[in-house]
Structure 1
Amino acid sequence: MHPLSEPPATPVASSGQAWRKRQRPAYHPEEGGADRSEWTSLVKAAVLIILLPVAVIALLLSH
């Protein structure tokens, strides 16, 4: 079995449902993927770096 294949299903505590798949974590370093929150943080930082000076300059020029 390949180590990155889906995890085995786990039994649910006698609630009538027989099996439910476990959720995979969002980030797998061995796959080379990136967590979505990393990209969101990067975009937020880029927007702040670009828009903050523009807003300050606009504020100074408006007075």
Structure 2
Amino acid sequence: MDEERNGVAVLIETAERDQEVLAGAVRAAGIAVGKALPAPVSVFAVARNRVPRTTSGKIRRRARAQ
């Protein structure tokens, strides 16, 4: 497996607009996941309702938002 493919991606879907609050949440999520899993962690924050979902509401993990 490529080195680039190893690790964990965390997606935070939020309506928060305060940059300090958002930065704190991203940091906290990265720290929490990093303590639980021995892998590199990348945390991404996206606007609410921007994560592609199936008709039943499940996240489309391989879909790309346009």
Q: TM-score, with normalisation over the residues of structure 1?
A: 0.32
**Greater helix content:** 1
Q: Which has the higher strand share?
A: 2
TM-score, normalised to structure 2, is 0.30
Larger radius of gyration: 1
Identify which of structures 1 and 2 has the higher relative contact order when contacts are C-alpha pairs closer than 8 Å and 6+ apart.
2
